[in-house]
Structure formats: structure tokens, C-alpha cells
Structure 1
Amino acid sequence: MLIAQISDLHIQEGGKDTELIQAEHHLAVCVQALNRLAPRPDMVVITGDLTEHGRKPEYLRLKPLLARLDIPYLLIPGNHDSPAMLREVFHEHSYLQTGTPFIQYVIDDWPLRIVALDTTVPMRSEGGLCAERLEWLSNTLAQAPDAPTLILMHHPPFETGIRQMDNLGLLSGREDFARVIAPYSNIERILCGHLHRTMLCRVGPTVASTCPGTAHQITLDLDSAATELSFNFEPPGYQLHWQGAQGLVTHHATIGDFPGPYSF
């Protein structure tokens, strides 16, 4: 199985940053790149911050952009999203209609089981996992303890060293999350967004990774005394998660036109 991951699209309507960030253009180029892949991914997972403000017009701008994908896709919310507006505009995505305040779900139709976990906190940038969500995760994992599994979540369950982003990270429930997943060696990967960079970290029995943004990237600043957060326009990217004989292999891919390939 081959899964593509994109994240942090930040589609917005108008605003002073629209010309600077050009989120719609970057997403359109990304969609073209994914459609050209051979072999083509079986699925695209989109790990949050779909819009900038969670407003209905932004989701209405996003929907036709994603409709150009020739690949099925799954959505989870990020801290910039509105679960209510996401559900309303993408109403045909039945997995979003959970009947709870949280958008979290299970997809059992693929060789890899997809478990989507909602880490968002209403009106806040940081993430959290309450007792209800952790209980849901515990029960969900217990239902298929041997099935190769992916967990999707927006906020990564680890500190990154980028201080200002860690201040907006998964601030509650992180230790409890690690305890819930600890018994499960079948978790192939935890796929996250939020950081706008590629990162890897061991979490319990598995590896958690973050995906670059399509709109812009967070500046790599590991100075513990840093007091400001900034972004830049390093090339946007995506990740490909390929299921091989030894488990899941993750590839970072850069979006753009570059010379090559050249024969050796």
C-alpha cells in the first residue's frame, strides 16, 4: 500500500497574506504532482489546518482544489479548522459525521488500518487529548491489536526543539497518549502535521513523524532562547508512506520542477 500525506494547506479567502503565501497555488501544484506519481498512491491523508480561519468560504475554496485529486483522500482537522464547517462543506465524507464534538474515526477497508485522532482544542492553537478521546483511542486499538495501523493526528505527541511551536504543541494528554499506545507493536506510524517541517521521533513502540506544509514552512530555529516564530518559503513538500516487507517506509518529497532525472 502507498499512502501520500499532505498537511497545513491554510487556504484562506482574501487577507493581506494571500499574495505572499499563495496557498491555493501551492496546493494546486501539489495536487498535480500527486496525480503524476507512478505508481499512484492508494490514498492521500491530509493532516489538518486545511484552512486559515475555519470559515465556510475557505472550505468552499478548498473543496474544488481537492476535487482535482485523482486519488481518494481523508481529512482531519487542525487548530485552524472548524469541525462544524468542515462537516458541513464536506458532508459527503461520511466518516466526518461522528455524532460527537470530535472528528475521529477508523477506516478498516485497507491493508493498513487508519485511526484518526482529534487533537484540537476549540479556539486554541495548542492541542490536547481529554479522557474521552483517550478512552476512544484505547478501545479502538484494542479492537484490532494485530492489524497494521496508522494513527493520524494534527499536533505531534513530542517536543520538537522549536520552542515557540512546542508552546503550541500537544500540551495535555501527551503522557497518557504514550501509555495508551505502549502495548501495541502493530502501530506502523503516527502521522502528524502542525510543524510545517519533516521531523521524526520515537514515541512508545513506534515512530511519529510530521509532514511539511504545502503553504509555507516554519523556520528551523532550535535556539532555546528564541522568542519569535517565523515562516519561510522553503520548497513545499509531501510524504509518501510505502508499506514494505519490514513495515512502513517514509519518503520525503519536494514539490517543484528540478533538473533531472539523469542516468548514472
Structure 2
Amino acid sequence: MLIAQLSDLHVRPPGELYRGVADSNRALTDAIIHLHQLDRRPDLVVITGDLVDYGEPEEYAHAHTLLSQLTIPYAVLPGNHDHREQFRTAFADHAYLPMDGPLHYCVDDYAVRIIALDSCVPGQHHGDVDAAGLQWLQTTLQANPHKPTLVLLHHPPFVSGIPYLDEYAYRDPAPLEAVLHTATNVEAVLCGHVHRPMVRRWAGTVVASCPSTTTEIALQLAPDAAPQSYIGPAACMLHLWNPAHGLVSHISYIGQYPGPYPFF
């Protein structure tokens, strides 16, 4: 099974730029074209949050229109820039989304089970999953303890070392870690939020964050670093699962580059 991951689309109303600088709408279209041109068609696309920038209905209408270009099934998850109820309304045609409360869900229609956690705190930018959400996760994991599973959430449950990102990190990940430690079939935890690829061993599995389709947050590790971003390089992730070999994840850069050349 091949699962493509997009994240942090930050769609704006038609004709408007993300933060007045980046054409996030065009970047999403470019990402969709990129997925359609892959030499192997993904079975599913997962989008790990921040589909829009301000949570406005006009943004969601445009995001839904842009995503309708996808000829591949896709599943969506909110991020801290999303508005939970506007998100739910905009994607009411996605039957897996719950009708009320946090947008936790499980998609069990593929060789790999997808469990998504809504790690957003309404009105805030940091991440958290409350006790009820953790109990839902525990119950869902226990319902099928052997099937290969990916767990999705927007906020990576670790400290990145980039100070202005860590102000808005997942708060107190230990309870989530304890739940995940009870499962032996979680192939990986997939996140967004940080606009950069990051990998960490955690909770008996691996956590990986996906780059953004529109901007890359600068890698600055000095504790007094000021927030900075770059337009690009845009990328997505491809997660290839094989029953004999398990899961391998690739970063797939979006855009045109010189090549290909007949060597490696």
C-alpha cells in the first residue's frame, strides 16, 4: 500500500496569498499534479492539518474545490489554523468524520489502518488530546491489535529544538505515549505543524513530521532565534507499506529539477 501525506496547505480565498507572500493555493494544485504524476498511484492521501490559514468559510470552500482535483481518495485532519466546526461543515461529505466533538476517527478500509487524533485546542495553537480522546484511542487500538496501523495527529509530540516552534508544541505527551506503548502494531505516527521533516523514535515506534506544501520554517536552534520561513522547498511524504518488509517513508520534493541522468 502507498499512502501519500500532504500537510499545512494554508489555503486562502481565491486570489489571496498566504501571509501576503506565498501562493499557497497554487502550491496545493502543484502538489496534486505531483501526486498524479508519480510512477505509482497512491492508494490514499492523508492531509495532516492546517488546510486553511484563518478557519474562514471562504477558505474552506476554496480548499474543498482545490482538493476536488484529486483523483485519489483522501482523508483530512484539522490543525491549529483550522476551525473545528467550519472544518466539519466544509467536509461533511467525508463520512468518517464524527458529527460532534473532536474530530478523532478510524479508517479501516485498507491494508493499513488509519487512526486520526484531533490534537487541536480550540482558540489555541498548542496541541493536546484530553482524557476522553486518549480513552477513545486506547479502545480503537485494542479493537484490532494486530493490523498494521498509522496514527495521525497535527502536532508532533516532541520538542523540536526550534524555539519558536516549541512554543506551540504538543503539551504533555506522556499520557499519549503511554497509550501508544500498549500497542505493538503502530508502524508510525505521522504529523504536520512544523513545516519541516523531522524524525524521532518515540513510544515504541517512529514519529515523522511532513513538510508543508507552501513554506518551510527555518532551521534555527539558537534559543533566541527569531521566527523565519522560506518559500519552499515544497514537499510531501510517501509511506510505502509492504506486508513482508513493513513501512518505509520517503520525502518527495515537488517541482521541476534538472535530470533525470543515467547514473545514481
TM over 0.5, yes or no? yes
Q: Which residue number corresponds to residue 144 of structure 2?
A: 144
Determine the C-alpha separation between the residues in 1 that align with 2:234 and 2:17: 21
RMSD between aligned residues: 1.3
Once the two structures are superposed, what CA deviation does each residue of 1:134-164 show, in whole Å capped at 9, x if it has no partner? Answer: 1111111111111100001000111111111
Q: Which residue number corresponds to residue 175 of structure 2?
A: 176
Task: Please tell me whether residue 89 in structure 1 is matched to residue 56 in structure 2.
Answer: no
Structure 1 residues 179 and 31, CA gap change in structure 2 (3 angstroms): same
CA positional deviation for 1:15: 5.7
- TM-score with structure 1 setting the length: 0.96
Task: Please tell me whether residue 25 in structure 1 is matched to residue 15 in structure 2.
Answer: no
Q: Which residue number corresponds to residue 214 of structure 1?
A: 213
- Whether contact under 8 Å (2:216, 2:230) holds in the other structure is yes
CA positional deviation for 1:225: 3.0
Determine the C-alpha separation between the residues in 2 that align with 1:91 and 1:252: 30
User: Alignment partner of 2:31: what SS?
Assistant: helix
User: Alignment partner of 1:65: what SS?
Assistant: helix
Q: Which residue number corresponds to residue 109 of structure 1?
A: 109
1:1-264 aligned within 5 A: 1-13=1-13, 17=18, 20-96=21-97, 98-172=98-172, 174-226=173-225, 228-244=226-242, 245-264=244-263
Deviation >2 Å, runs of 4+: 13-19
Determine the C-alpha separation between the residues in 2 that align with 1:134 and 1:144: 16
Determine the C-alpha separation between the residues in 2 that align with 1:12 and 1:111: 34
Determine the C-alpha separation between the residues in 1 that align with 2:37 and 2:16: 32
User: How many matched pairs?
Assistant: 261
Structure 1 residues 201 and 37, CA gap change in structure 2 (3 angstroms): same
CA positional deviation for 1:16: 6.7
User: Alignment partner of 1:136: what SS?
Assistant: helix
CA positional deviation for 1:42: 0.3
User: Alignment partner of 2:121: what SS?
Assistant: coil
For structure 1, which segment, 242-251 or 23-32, has the greater mean C-alpha deviation from structure 2 after superposition? 242-251
Residue 83 of structure 1 aligns with an amino acid whose one-letter code is R
Determine the C-alpha separation between the residues in 1 that align with 2:138 and 2:165: 27
Residue 236 of structure 2 aligns with an amino acid whose one-letter code is Y
Residue 189 of structure 2 aligns with an amino acid whose one-letter code is I
Residue 169 of structure 1 aligns with an amino acid whose one-letter code is A
User: Alignment partner of 2:82: what SS?
Assistant: coil
User: Alignment partner of 1:208: what SS?
Assistant: strand
- Whether contact under 8 Å (1:12, 1:18) holds in the other structure is no
User: Alignment partner of 1:20: what SS?
Assistant: coil
- TM-score with structure 2 setting the length: 0.96
Residue 78 of structure 2 aligns with an amino acid whose one-letter code is P
Structure 1 residues 16 and 66, CA gap change in structure 2 (3 angstroms): closer
Once the two structures are superposed, what CA deviation does each residue of 1:171-198 show, in whole Å capped at 9, x if it has no partner? Answer: 13x1000000112121001000000000
User: Alignment partner of 1:178: what SS?
Assistant: helix
Q: Which 5+ residue runs of structure 2 have no aligned equivalent?
A: none
Structure 1 residues 82 and 73, CA gap change in structure 2 (3 angstroms): same
- Whether contact under 8 Å (2:5, 2:47) holds in the other structure is yes
Q: Which 5+ residue runs of structure 1 have no aligned equivalent?
A: none
